[in-house]
Structure 1
Amino acid sequence: MTKVVVLGDLNVDVVAVQSTSLALGSDTAARVSLLPGGGGANVASWLAKAGVEVTLVGRVGTDALAPVALSGLDGVDLQVVRDPEHATGTCVVLVAPGGERTMLPDPGANDALAVEDLPPLEGDVLHVSGYALLRPGSRSAALTAIERAREAGMKISVDPASSAPLGNDPVFLQRIAPIDLLLPNADEAVVLGPQIDVPEVVVKFGANGARWTNGVETVVGRAVPVDEVVDTTGAGDAFAAGFLSVWPHGMAADALAAGARCAAKAVTRVGSRDA
């Protein structure tokens, strides 16, 4: 059985599903929910639902939001530190009609993840959410985890996380090389551009599917059609989990298909975790 260690954010998402386009400077009717989120926790949740043995490494506060961030993680081995000084990470998510989301994150305790928080790393894959690498507070812990996983013979997967902060980090991939798998979306791939020199790359194109390549072969995977896209929050995390559930011991086409199935489930509901 595949065993994956995930290092990354645990958040509470304040999700506002807008009834119309955002009326700047005025009011826009919305349905607002308080839901668990965070790139690392989302991937771990979807992996557990796929029957993968998964450990989540992260950090939350000791506040009332921590139990919300930790919900929906049944079956996940939680190696999560409680931070007495920093609040649990929070992200305001604005979901426009059609499902496109805009995020306003406050990392909170996520940015205080320390080398001392790392458990022994054992498994087939270490998957790191790029937020942990982009933020200076958690970067040392994330880089140390990658180094230890490499020494332990684990494969290393990284999701670059977000195109805007990547634009301010011109050595993102050089800092973490070598890794085995990169999982950017189309915008992130454009920003990284010539940085990308990784054995395997999967570029996610949303409704247009995904493309895997190892530099010699290329496999294109189709998205799974859905009747209605409700919320794209966490769809990339769901895809990553589906892909990783097959990737270490399977074919690229099968991994792409598994990713597409998880992503299709994700976009048909509000929030980023499988219910």
Structure 2
Amino acid sequence: MTRPSRVVVVGDLITDVVAVLAGPLATGSDTGAAIRVVGGGQAANTAAWIAAQGAPVTLVGAVGDDDAGRDRVAELERVGVECAVEVHRGVPTGTVIVLATGDERTMVTERGANLRLTTGHVERALAAPDAAHLHLSGYPLLDAASRPAGLAALAAARARGLTTSVDAASAAPLRRAGAAAFLSWVRDVDLLLVNADEAGVLAGGLDPEAQARALSVSARRVVVKR
């Protein structure tokens, strides 16, 4: 029986500190909230979902040499994700503070060790003989420190004949990086995933179908998530 092909996911492992606010944020004072600490990161969440579908999946990323990093890796391994994770001393595992009110989420981010992801580590992971698809979180591309690893992932995948997908990640860092630059980095990917805000940054204030058509100049297929 043929073994299913492997998906290689490249991107962030993060500790999410989620505060669901009881009311409007009282700047400079106290606001009640329900607070929980959970594993997160766009790439880590995607890898966990793929594993839940029964597909072989490897997460490629970086953590600090700390309890948070060990916890994030252990959580993923428990749900069936193979972790190809670099450990960097002296740098903390990435953390996001999420302030949630109703349907809105505001995030304050320290990417930490995620910024130390190396090109060699990514290239070795993509050399796995059963690797068939690369899914790249956009976050590595959106910071100059991790961008070489993100670009190396796409180059290695193309060189090995893997299909590719990229999630555009988040509107604010996309805006800082610039639409033209980001679209040049992801040119010719097989699938580009964007939400409404990200599509607005990359393609302007068009309707979703028009945004997808505009973005299809850079990617073979585009999904605008609503």
The aligned residue for residue 111 of structure 1 is 115
Which residues in structure 2 correspond to 1:112-191 (within 5 Å)? Answer: 112-118=116-122, 119-121=124-126, 122=128, 123-170=131-178, 171-191=181-201
Percent of pairs identical after alignment? Answer: 46
Deviates more, 1:137-146 or 1:64-73: 64-73
| Unaligned stretches of 5+ residues in structure 2 | 205-213
Determine if contact 2:6/2:56 at 8 Å carries over to the other structure: yes
Write the distance in 2 (CA, Å) between the matches of 1:190 and 1:92: 25
Q: Does 1:49 align with 2:52?
A: yes
- Displacement of 1:71 in angstroms is 4.0
SS in 1 for 2:140: helix
Deviates more, 1:43-52 or 1:170-179: 170-179
Amino acid in the other structure paired with 2:224: V
Deviations 1:16-49 (A, max 9, x none): 1111122222211001111111111111011111
The aligned residue for residue 81 of structure 1 is 86
Determine if contact 1:12/1:69 at 8 Å carries over to the other structure: yes
Q: Does 1:91 align with 2:96?
A: yes
- Displacement of 1:66 in angstroms is 1.1
| Unaligned stretches of 5+ residues in structure 1 | 206-275
Number of residue equivalences: 204
Structure having the larger proportion of residues in strand: 2
Deviates more, 1:31-40 or 1:116-125: 116-125
SS in 2 for 1:72: helix
Amino acid in the other structure paired with 2:192: L
Determine if contact 2:15/2:93 at 8 Å carries over to the other structure: yes
Amino acid in the other structure paired with 1:103: M
Determine if contact 1:35/1:68 at 8 Å carries over to the other structure: no
Determine if contact 2:60/2:83 at 8 Å carries over to the other structure: yes
The TM-score, its normalising length taken from structure 2, stands at 0.86
SS in 2 for 1:25: coil
SS in 2 for 1:78: strand
Q: CA RMSD in A?
A: 1.4
Determine if contact 1:12/1:37 at 8 Å carries over to the other structure: yes
